[in-house]
Amino acid sequence: MQALMQDRPLTLPHIFHRAERQFHDKRIVTTTLRGEVESTYGEWASRVRRLATVLDELGVPEGARVATFGWNTQRHLELYFGVPCTGRVLHTLNIRLFAEQVAYIAEHAADDVVFVDRSLLPVLWPVADQLTTVRYFVVLDDGADSEIPDDPRIRDYEDLLAAAEPFRGRFEITDENAAAAMCYTSGTTGQPKGVVYSHRSTVLHSLVSLTVDAVGLSERDVMLPVVPMFHVNAWGLPYSAVFAGTSIVFPGPAMQPEALVSMLERHRVTTTAGVPTIWMGMLPLLGEHDLSSLRVVVGGGAAIPTALSEGWREAIGIPITQAWGMTETSPLASVASPRSHHDGLDAEALIEVRSTQGQAAPLVELRIVDMDTGQEQPWDGATPGELQAAGPWIASSYYGDEGRDAFTSDGWLRTGDVATMDEHGFVRLVDRTKDLVKSGGEWISSVELENHIMAHENVAEAAVIAKSDPKWTERPVACVVAEPGSGLTSEQVLDHLRERVAKWWLPDEVWFVDELPKTSTGKFSKKTLRERLLD
Amino acid sequence: MQALMQDRPLTLPHIFHRAERQFHDKRIVTTTLRGEVESTYGEWASRVRRLATVLDELGVPEGARVATFGWNTQRHLELYFGVPCTGRVLHTLNIRLFAEQVAYIAEHAADDVVFVDRSLLPVLWPVADQLTTVRYFVVLDDGADSEIPDDPRIRDYEDLLAAAEPFRGRFEITDENAAAAMCYTSGTTGQPKGVVYSHRSTVLHSLVSLTVDAVGLSERDVMLPVVPMFHVNAWGLPYSAVFAGTSIVFPGPAMQPEALVSMLERHRVTTTAGVPTIWMGMLPLLGEHDLSSLRVVVGGGAAIPTALSEGWREAIGIPITQAWGMTETSPLASVASPRSHHDGLDAEALIEVRSTQGQAAPLVELRIVDMDTGQEQPWDGATPGELQAAGPWIASSYYGDEGRDAFTSDGWLRTGDVATMDEHGFVRLVDRTKDLVKSGGEWISSVELENHIMAHENVAEAAVIAKSDPKWTERPVACVVAEPGSGLTSEQVLDHLRERVAKWWLPDEVWFVDELPKTSTGKFSKKTLRERLLD
Ligand SMILES: Nc1ncnc2c1ncn2[C@@H]1O[C@H](COP(=O)(O)OP(=O)(O)OP(=O)(O)O)[C@@H](O)[C@H]1O
Ligand SMILES: Nc1ncnc2c1ncn2[C@@H]1O[C@H](COP(=O)(O)OP(=O)(O)OP(=O)(O)O)[C@@H](O)[C@H]1O
Ligand SMILES: [Mg+2]
Ligand SMILES: [Mg+2]
C-alpha cells in the first residue's frame, strides 16, 4: 500500500529559501585581507540570486562541474548554494595540494569554470593551461595584490555579480538524487578519488548535524568553521548552519592560531570544528582569552590525542568532541559525546569514552568485519575488524568508477579503518588497514601506541609505522618529535610505554625527527614517513 | 548528473535496529492497572520480533491495516514498530470516539486485525460485528477485569507472543514511500478523514523532532507522552524517542492530573507533550511537586491560552512551548520557541511570541493565501490568509480520495486555519475558516477574543462563535464558563474586552454555560456549541 504524502524532494533550494525568508537578518562575518566584513543572510541570498544569473550568462551547462579554489568566506558560501541550486555541481578544490595534483583533479572532474580567490591565483595560474576543460577563471578579489593575468579566460566575480539581474523565482531541483557537489579524498593513503554528493544526501546530512546528539547546531549558535570548505564541504557545517539559521564567522585566510582565537572570543562563537593540528596550535593561547561562549569544539579527520582534548578541557572547561568521518561519508558518521550510561564514570573513564570515535549518527550504520574471513565481528569492545558504513549519505562508488574494491558486494563502504565496537556501538579506531603493524600474526595498533607516546610531556608529535622484519613479518617503529630542549631519549619513551602496553607491542626503535610530514588536510602522512625513513 | 550515494531508503527498520543495538539498556516504564512496569528497549525489541511472527501466523497480508485501540503503553510501542517494520500499516483508532464512529472508521480503513487493551474492550466490543473486515481482536491484558467474550475472533496478546519464535533477521522495507501508518483527523470540523503516512515521512518527521530548535529530543531525555498514541501517533514522539534512545514513561490509563504530575516528578521527566486541557488540569497541582527536571512542555492541538502558559511559567519556571500541526501534517509543522532576534524583548513581548504558533520546522513550508483571490499574502504580521503547508510529511490526499478540495492545484495542503505570518515566518493563528466571524465584510478573530476573555481571572473557559445577523452578516457571541462562585456578569466580560479590542469586535452577547463541549481529542467543539446554542 502506498502512502499519501506529498512528493517533495529533499533539495538545497529548500534550505536556501528557508534561510532567505526566515533568517534574513542573521549575521555572516568574513575575515578578509582588508579586515572583517559584516553581512547578513539577506544580502548573501540576493548575491546567490545574482550568481545564478552569472552562471547562466557564462553558459555553464546543467550538471557541469563548477570548481572553487578558495578560503572559508561568504563568497564561498554563495557558491555553495548558487551552484547546486541551479542544477550545477559544486567541486571544491583543495588549495593545499601541489598545483600538479590540483590540475589532475580538475581535469579528472572536467571542471567547466573555476572560482578562485585572488590571493590564491598565484598558486593556480601556473597550471591554468593544464586545466583544459576550464573555460573561465572567475577571480574573487579578496584584497590580495597578486597580479591578475591579462587573459581572455579571466573574469571578475564582483563585476559579474554587479552586472547580473538577480534570479527572481524559486530555485527548483526535481530529482533529489541529482549531484549537488563533489569532493576528492585527501590522498593520505592513495590517489585522491572523487565522491559525488546528492541534494538528498546533503539535506539529510545537514539535518542530522542539527540534532542534539550530533552537533546540535541551532539558530542561537554562532559557528566558526575552521575546517576548510574544500575539506568535505567543511564537514557539511555551512549547509547545516544555513539550515538552522546559525550566524557564521568565516576566517578567510586568517588561519593562524592567534587570529582564530581572537575571532572565537570577539564573536562569542559557540560552535567550531577542525582537525587536531589546528587545536594543537591554539592550545598554548587559550589561557589568555575568554572563550566561555564555546559550547562545542568538534575535532575530526584524524584521531584527537587524549592529551590535546584534556588540554582544552583544562584550559576552557570543555574537551574536544571527537567525530569520525571520511570524504566518502559526507563526512559525519559518528560522534563521541558521552551518553547517559556513562554518567557516574570517573574522570579517567570519561577520557577513555571521549577518546573513542563515538556512536553512529542517525541514518548511519556501522559494522566491523574480519579482514581475512569477511565475517561480521561482535560488538565486544575488543575484537577489531575493518569498519564498514552504510547510509543515505555514504558513497556507493567513486567518480569514474575507480577504486571498486572499496565497496562490498552488499553495497557497504569499506572505510579502510580498523576498529573495535563496544556493546553500545561506540567505535574505537585502532588503525588504518594500510598502516596496521602485523607482528607474529597479531595486529598491533599504531594509533594506540601513538596516543600513549603523545601523552608524554616531552613529546610534541609521534607516529608509529611498520618496518618489515624477517622473524615477525613487521615490527613497530616510533617516529617522535621531542619538545625542543627537553633532551628526550629513546629509553625514556620506551620506559613510558612499558607501563602502558604489552611487551611485544614495544617499538623496536624510536627515531627522532624534526617534524612529521603532513598531508594537505593536516594529517600525519605515514606514506611520506615510510618513504623517507624506511628507504 | 546523478550523484554516487548509496540508495538507502528512509524506513522504520533503521530506527528499530539502531535502538535495539545502541540503546538496549534504556528504560521504558508503563503505568498499568496493576502498577508500574519497568522494561528496557532490549526487552521491547525482542517482543517486537515475536510480534512480527505473530502477524505472520495470523495471516495478516502485506499492506493490510492493523488497528490499535489502546492507551499509551509499551505494548502500543511494540505495535508502532512491529506492524510497519513487517510491511503492514498501523492504524490507531481513537478510543474517545463514540463506538459508532470507531466502527465507521475501522470499516473505512478495512482493518484486518484490532489490538485492543482489555480495559477498553467494553467500549469496542458492542460494535464488533460492525467491523466486518476485522478477523481477530487481540486483547492486550492490562489487568482490567472486563469480561473477555467467548468468541472465535478473540486472541490473547501475551499468549500469542509467548508461543511465537522471534523473527531473527533484519526487517527490510525497500520502498520508503510505502504506507507505514494511518490516522483519521479528529473530526472537529467535519467527518474524520484518513491520512496515510509513509516510512519516509515518519523517519524525516522523527528526525526533525531531534533538532534543537524543534523539540530537541536526545538520548539524555526522559519523555512522557501525555498526548495519546491514537492522536497523530502521539505527535510522532514515540518514533522520535526510539530514534534518539530517549527513555520513555507511558502513562497508560492513568490520565488524571494527579497521576501525571506524580509520574513527571518521580521519573525526572524532561520532556512532555499534550493538549491544553491536560495542562489546564495539572496547573493547580504544580506547586506541590518538584518538576525541576522538565526541560520542555509542548502544547498543541489547540491554541494555548496565554494565561495557561504563564501559569506554568510562574509555577515551575518554564512556559508551555506551543507547537502547531494537524493530522495531515504528521503533525509537527511549527514550533514557537523564541529565536535570537527576540532576545532583549520585555516579558510582555515574549509572552506575545510564545502565544504564536511559531516558525516552520525544517522541511516544512508554510504560506498564507487570500481566501477570496487565492493570492499569496505578505509576511507582515497583520494580513491574514488561509494557512497552507507543503513538505515531505504533509498529506497529498485523503484515503479514498475524499476531501479533494483540501489540496491546491499546486499540491499544497489547505489547512483550514487562518493565520498571519510575521517577517520571520512566525505564524499566528487567528481562526479556522469554519469558525471565522465575518462582520460587515471584515473578519473578526474568534481566537483573539477567546484569549482575552480567558485571561480574565473569573473565567474558566471561553469560546466565541458566529451568530448570523441581518445587518452585519455575522456577529460574535461569547460562550463563557465562569469560575464557580465568582458571580461574573456579562458586563464585566465586555468591560474587560473594551480595553483590549476594537469596539466593533465586542461580542453582541455573552452566554454563560456550565461547561464547553469537547471533542474526542480534548478541543472545544464549536460545532457542538453552535448546534446547541444557535438552534
Ligand atoms: N576522529 C578520527 N579519528 C581517527 N581517524 C580519523 C578520524 N576522523 C577521520 N579519520 C581518518 O580520516 C580518514 C578520512 O579522511 P579523508 O576522507 O579526508 O581522506 P584520507 O582517507 O585521509 O585520504 P585517502 O582516502 O585519499 O587516502 C578516515 O578513514 C580515518 O582514517
Ligand atoms: N497550537 C495550536 N494553536 C491553535 N490551533 C491549533 C494548534 N495546533 C493545532 N490546532 C488546530 O488543530 C487542527 C488540527 O487538528 P486535527 O488534525 O487533530 O483535527 P481537527 O482539525 O481538529 O479535526 P477535523 O479536521 O477532522 O475537523 C489545526 O488545523 C488547528 O486548527
Ligand atoms: Mg580514505
Ligand atoms: Mg482539520
pLDDT in tens, B107-157: 999 999 999 999 999 999 999 999 999 999 999 999 999 999 999 999 999
Task: Give every residue of chain A whose pLDDT is below 70, as ranges.
Answer: none
Tell me, yes or no, if B388 comes closer than 8 A to chain A by beta carbon.
no
The pLDDT-based confidence of B46 (bands split at 50, 70, 90) is very high
Query: How confident is the model over B513-521, as a mean pLDDT?
Result: 89
Q: Mapped to the 3 state alphabet, what secondary structure does B195-262 carry?
A: EEEEHHHHHHHHHHHCECCCCCCCCCCEEEECCCCCCHHHHCHHHHHHHHCCEEEECECCCCHHHHHH
Facing residue for A207 by CB, picked from B199, B200, B211: B211
Cα B467 to Cα B69, B125, B532, distances in angstroms: 38, 40, 12
Task: Evaluate whether B268 touches B290 at the Cβ level (below 8 Å).
Answer: no
Nearest to B508 by CA among B471, B467, B449, B480: B467
Task: Evaluate whether B364 touches B348 at the Cβ level (below 8 Å).
Answer: no
What does the alpha-carbon distance between residue A13 and residue B489 come to, in Å, rounded to a whole number? 55
Q: Mapped to the 3 state alphabet, what secondary structure does B263-322 carry?
A: HHHHCCCCEEEECHHHHHHHHHHHHHCCCCCCCEEEECCCCCCHHHHHHHHHHHCCCEEE
Q: Is the model's pLDDT at B439 over the cut of 80?
A: yes
pLDDT in tens, B295-304: 999 999 999 9
Facing residue for A201 by CB, picked from B5, B89, B213: B5
- The domain boundary residue, chosen from B211, B238, B261: B211
A299 within domain boundaries: no
What pLDDT does residue B458 have?
Answer: 95
Chain B residue with CA closest to A87: the answer is B1
Average pLDDT of the residues of chain B: 96
What pLDDT does residue B187 have?
Answer: 81
CATH of the domain at B464: 3.30.300.30
The pLDDT-based confidence of B372 (bands split at 50, 70, 90) is confident
What pLDDT does residue B390 have?
Answer: 98
What pLDDT does residue B41 have?
Answer: 98
Residue pointed to by grid coordinates 484569549: B451
pLDDT in tens, B55-78: 999 999 999 999 999 999 999 999
A182 within domain boundaries: yes
The pLDDT-based confidence of B222 (bands split at 50, 70, 90) is very high
- The domain boundary residue, chosen from B153, B178, B211: B211
What pLDDT does residue A190 have?
Answer: 76
Residue A524 DSSP code: B
Cα B509 to Cα A475, B476, B489, B498, B521, distances in angstroms: 93, 8, 11, 14, 28
Chain A hits for B172, Cβ within 8 Å: none
Residue A118 neighbours by CB under 8 Å, 6+ apart: A139, A140, A141, A142, A143, A144, A146, A148
Judged by CB atoms closer than 8 Å, whether chains meet at B399 and A4 is answered as yes
What pLDDT does residue B523 have?
Answer: 85
A281 within domain boundaries: no
- Looking at ligand 2, which atom is closest to the CA of residue B184? 26
Chain B hits for A4, Cβ within 8 Å: 179, 195-196, 395-399
What pLDDT does residue A506 have?
Answer: 95
Judged by CB atoms closer than 8 Å, whether chains meet at B395 and A89 is answered as no
A57 CB neighbour count, 10 Å cutoff: 12
Which residue's CA is the closest to the ligand 2 atom numbered 3?
A: B303
- The domain boundary residue, chosen from A207, A241, A275: A241
What does the alpha-carbon distance between residue A438 and residue A444 come to, in Å, rounded to a whole number? 6
A222 within domain boundaries: no
What does the alpha-carbon distance between residue B48 and residue A87 come to, in Å, rounded to a whole number? 44
Facing residue for B5 by CB, picked from A210, A341, A396: A396
Judged by CB atoms closer than 8 Å, whether chains meet at A339 and B220 is answered as yes
B531 within domain boundaries: yes
Tell me, yes or no, if A4 comes closer than 8 A to chain B by beta carbon.
yes
CATH of the domain at B188: 3.40.50.12780
Q: Which three cell numbers stand for residue B420?
A: 498571519
What pLDDT does residue B188 have?
Answer: 79
- Looking at ligand 2, which atom is closest to the CA of residue B185? 26
What pLDDT does residue A436 have?
Answer: 84
Closest ligand (CA of B387): 2
What does the alpha-carbon distance between residue B459 and residue B465 come to, in Å, rounded to a whole number? 17
What pLDDT does residue B438 have?
Answer: 87
> Which of B386, B415, B429 to probe ligand 2 with, by most ligand atoms within 8 A of CB?
B429
The CA A397 to ligand 3 mean position distance, Å, reads 13
* Host H or E run for residue A261: helix A257-266
The pLDDT-based confidence of B522 (bands split at 50, 70, 90) is confident
Query: How confident is the model over B7-32, as a mean pLDDT?
Result: 98
Q: Output the DSSP codes for B74-137.
A: HHHHHHHHHHHHTT-EEEE--TTS-HHHHHHHHHHHT-SEEEEEGGGHHHHGGGGGG-TT--EE
Domain range for A40: 12-215+232-241
Q: Is the model's pLDDT at B189 over the cut of 80?
A: no
A275 within domain boundaries: no
What pLDDT does residue A527 have?
Answer: 87
* Number of domains composing chain A: 2
The CA B147 to ligand 2 mean position distance, Å, reads 36
Distance of CA A342 to the CA centre of its chain: 27
Q: Which three cell numbers stand for residue B296?
A: 520542555
Tell me, yes or no, if A170 comes closer than 8 A to chain B by beta carbon.
no
Name beta bridge partners: A395. Answer: B5
- Looking at ligand 1, which atom is closest to the CA of residue A519? 22
Chain B hits for A109, Cβ within 8 Å: none
* Host H or E run for residue A534: helix A526-534
Q: Is the model's pLDDT at B14 over the cut of 80?
A: yes
What pLDDT does residue A194 have?
Answer: 98
Catalytic residue among A185, A202, A246, A271: A185
B288 within domain boundaries: no
Which residue's CA is the closest to the ligand 1 atom numbered 13?
A: A326
Facing residue for B196 by CB, picked from A4, A203, A396: A4
B366 within domain boundaries: no
Q: Which three cell numbers stand for residue A381?
A: 569492545
Q: What is the ipTM score, two decimals?
A: 0.94
pLDDT in tens, B441-476: 888 889 889 999 999 999 999 999 999 888 988 999
